[in-house]
Structure 1
């Protein structure tokens, strides 16, 4: 076969391939889902049903041993607690639990009322935020060591010890903060 005939066949094959690739790309662009959100608002309402404003949002990643026994395949637990009202006039709370790595990113929530009591095992005069019976038993007592840090207390009112990777000190996040992923 002469060289010209071979080039013509190659050009035809290449042209068909390019057209097929272009058609696939157009189909992918047209059928892809909506863009992922670029910002994420708070996971909680800014006011509760009674109209009290959220006054504190404490969050952190805590060890999976927070669950007894720990959930299978758990890598860490994203724990958040939002307090409505103020220590002078407590109202309600909302707890969020997400177990990371389990294949189920469902947000488990608990809500109820909170009060201010006194006394930890380390300091009998310390302020303690006490949650009602609607909170899991192991998440009912918190020690606000400052406006920025809230320690989870165990049943004896001792601060729960963490691991080398995660601890039980929750950090105050600005109310209603919108998060934008890096990039």
Structure 2
């Protein structure tokens, strides 16, 4: 019988067609959305909590900084994710090692790391008595000097030991991050 005929208009047939259509829509939605919310992916810190000597990480400073941190800036760079982790000798509290992480956003997801030893020095271009964290030659020359301002801010210094000036979007102040912080990202 044609679709426009009486059989199509019969209540049992209409309900059956509706159920089939609803089942088809539900199958498409499940296929597109999945079977429910997925568990977020968890990432640990990018650095080990202790160095090779067993010294603990005591400070993690991170932020996005301008691409001008590189001279010249990398083509296609949008910003640079910069991280500095400091380790201290557990017994004496003396500075021991550091790790630096550099990721150039827009260029790729490759993490460039540098490591070595660090010391505490004195004097910035603004204050001759200010504390300066001095990294050894394991770090690129333009990433070797930092001025800690309190416990939560670390300024990257230029070759004259002055705080580097940022641009309209990003500056060169790194913020303290809790040691070992994990990050959850939705899949």
User: Distance between the aligned counterparts of 1:131 and 1:114, measured in 2?
Assistant: 4
Match of 1:150 among 146, 149, 154: 154
Q: Is the aligned partner of 1:135 residue 2:139?
A: yes
User: Distance between the aligned counterparts of 1:61 and 1:78, measured in 2?
Assistant: 5
SS in 1 for 2:142: helix
> Where does 1:14-25 land on structure 2 (aligned, <5 Å)?
none
Greater shift in the superposed pair: 17-26 or 74-83: 17-26
Q: Give 1:26 shift.
A: 7.2
Moved over 6 A (4+): 13-28
**Normalization by structure 1: what TM-score?**
0.80
Is contact 2:62-2:84 (8 Å) kept?
yes
The one-character-per-residue Cα deviations of 1:54-74 (angstroms, maximum 9, x if unpaired) are 010001111111011111111
Q: Give 1:23 shift.
A: 7.1
Aligned to 1:71: 74
User: Distance between the aligned counterparts of 1:18 and 1:103, measured in 2?
Assistant: 46
Q: Is the aligned partner of 1:165 residue 2:177?
A: no
Aligned to 2:111: 107
**Normalization by structure 2: what TM-score?**
0.79
Q: Is the aligned partner of 1:3 residue 2:5?
A: yes
Match of 1:45 among 36, 45, 48: 48
Aligned to 2:62: 59
The one-character-per-residue Cα deviations of 1:144-176 (angstroms, maximum 9, x if unpaired) are 121111110011111101112111111111111
**Which has more radius of gyration?**
2
User: Distance between the aligned counterparts of 1:73 and 1:16, measured in 2?
Assistant: 51
Q: Is the aligned partner of 1:85 residue 2:85?
A: no
Is contact 2:40-2:184 (8 Å) kept?
no
- Alpha carbon RMSD of aligned pairs, Å? 3.0
Relative distance call for 1:157 and 1:179 in structure 2 (3 A) is: same
